[in-house]
Structure 1
Amino acid sequence: MSYEYEGTVSTSATPADVWHLWSDVGSWHCWDPAVQGVALEGHFAEGAAGTLTLTGNIHAPFVLEIVEPGARFLDRVTIGELVVYIDHMVKATADGAEVTVRTAVSGPNAEELGPVVAADTPKALEALIGLAEQKS
Structure 2
Amino acid sequence: MTHIASATATSTAAPEAFFTKWADMATWPEWNGDTEWVTLDGPFVQGATGTLKPKGGPKTSFVVAELTDRSFVDVSKLFGARLTFDHRIVTGEQTTVSVSISIDGPLAFFWTKILGGDLAKSVQADLDSLVTFAEAVRA
Q: Deviations over 1:62-111 (max 9, x none)?
A: 0111111x3211111123333211001112221x3000101102313244
Are the equivalent residues in 2 in contact too, given 1:38–1:52 (CA < 8 A)?
yes
Unpaired runs of at least 5, structure 2? none
Structure 1 residues 7 and 129 mapped into 2: Cα distance closer, same or farther (>3 Å)? same
Size of the aligned set, in residue pairs, is 134
Query: 1:35 is aligned with what amino acid?
Result: T
Are the equivalent residues in 1 in contact too, given 2:5–2:119 (CA < 8 A)?
no
Q: What is the RMSD of the two structures over their aligned residues, measured on CA atoms?
A: 1.8
Farther-moved stretch of structure 1 (123-132 vs 74-83): 74-83
Find the residue that maps to 1:119 and give its secondary structure: helix
Distance 1:110 1:3 in 2: 12
Find the residue that maps to 1:58 and give its secondary structure: coil
Structure holding more strand per residue: 1
Query: 1:71 is aligned with what amino acid?
Result: R
Unpaired runs of at least 5, structure 1? none
Distance 1:118 1:25 in 2: 21
Structure 1 residues 88 and 57 mapped into 2: Cα distance closer, same or farther (>3 Å)? same
Query: 1:101 is aligned with what amino acid?
Result: V
Are the equivalent residues in 2 in contact too, given 1:67–1:73 (CA < 8 A)?
yes
Give the 5 Å matches for 1:62-81. Answer: 62-68=62-68, 70-81=69-80
Query: 1:134 is aligned with what amino acid?
Result: A
**Alignment match of 2:103 (pick from 86, 102, 105):** 105
Distance 2:54 2:130 in 1: 17
Query: 2:42 is aligned with what amino acid?
Result: G
Normalised by the length of structure 1, the TM-score is: 0.88
Q: In percent, how many aligned pairs have the same letter?
A: 24
Distance 1:117 1:78 in 2: 16
Give the 5 Å matches for 1:48-127. Answer: 48-68=48-68, 70-94=69-93, 96-106=94-104, 107-113=108-114, 114-127=116-129
